Amino acid sequence: MLRINVGCGQTPTPGWRNFDNSWSLRLAQIPVLPDVLHALRLLEGSQYQFIQFARKNDIEYGDAARGLPVSDESRDVLYSSHMMEHLDRSAADTFLKEAFQVLRPKGIIRIAVPDSKKHVAQYLDSGDADAFIEGTHVCIPGPRSLAHRLRLLLTGTRHHQWMYDGTSLSGLLQKHGFIGIEIMPAGRTKIPEHDQLDLQERISESVYVEAEKPAV
């Protein structure tokens, strides 16, 4: 089976082809530049460490909102965890069109995102509005210094652009032609040969939705 993990971050799936759109991966392709930027404090320590991690784990650069470097109808499974919330609505539409295109007929897509229902439930339980807003990661802090401003220009922001629950994500998948859409309990999947895939990734805050590309 040919399977891809899109937006894998620091949790690539062993045996799969793993993509991420971090600028750090572009920098990783230039041997000396990450070291120079890190020395000049234009590259945060976490980003520098991710470059080393990505090189070691063969993570490839791929922008989900602009097209993935894979052939049409060539993949059996596409998995994406905690990536779609970083896309605005237009980019999310582009990503799902691309996902539909690269999957083979009867191919499976599995998406995990932060569950807005869980965030709201926690807020209603605690009454802590500040913790609620902070937990959604939708507020982008302004640059505090010139170095911070330059880092934002180089790497962009990693904050959330949209939030979903199982129902809204299912509706979006249906809009893009997927069928057999199901909100999956953590630990369950329709994906065959899934032993290397984390089916409970970030379980405390996630909702998991699977769907299938029609056979015809």
pLDDT value of residue 211: 98
Domain containing 190 equals: 3-21+62-212
The answer to whether residue 13 sits within a structural domain is yes
Instruction: Yes or no: say if 74 and 104 are a contact pair by the CB < 8 Å rule.
Output: yes
pLDDT band at 39 (very low <50, low <70, confident <90, very high): confident
pLDDT of 68 above 60:
yes
Contacts with 186 (C-beta within 8 Å, 6 or more apart), sequence order: 199, 200, 203, 206, 208
Instruction: Establish if 182 belongs to a structural domain.
Output: yes
Q: Does residue 112 belong to any structural domain of this protein?
A: yes
179 located within any domain? yes
Q: Is residue 43 part of a domain?
A: no
Using one digit for the tens of pLDDT, what is the confidence trace for 97-123? 999 999 999 999 999 999 999 999 999
* pLDDT level of residue 22 (50, 70, 90 thresholds): confident
Residue among 1, 15, 17 nearest 104 (CA): 1
User: Would you say residue 153 has pLDDT above 70?
Assistant: no
Show Cβ contacts of residue 160 under 8 Å, excluding neighbours closer than 6 positions. 85, 86, 114, 136, 137, 138
Q: Helix (H, G, I), strand (E, B), or coil: what is residue 210? A: strand
Residue at 145 is within a domain: yes
17: which strand partners? 4
Q: What is the mean pLDDT of residues 124-138?
A: 94
Round the average pLDDT of the chain to a whole number and report it: 89
User: What CATH number corresponds to the domain at position 140?
Assistant: 3.40.50
User: Between the CA of residue 100 and those of 80, 88, 89, 96, 139, what are the distances in Å?
Assistant: 13, 18, 17, 6, 31
Is the pLDDT at 46 greater than 90, yes or no? no
169 inside domain: yes
Count of structural domains within the chain: 1
Give domain status of residue 84, yes or no: yes
CA 189 to chain centre: 18
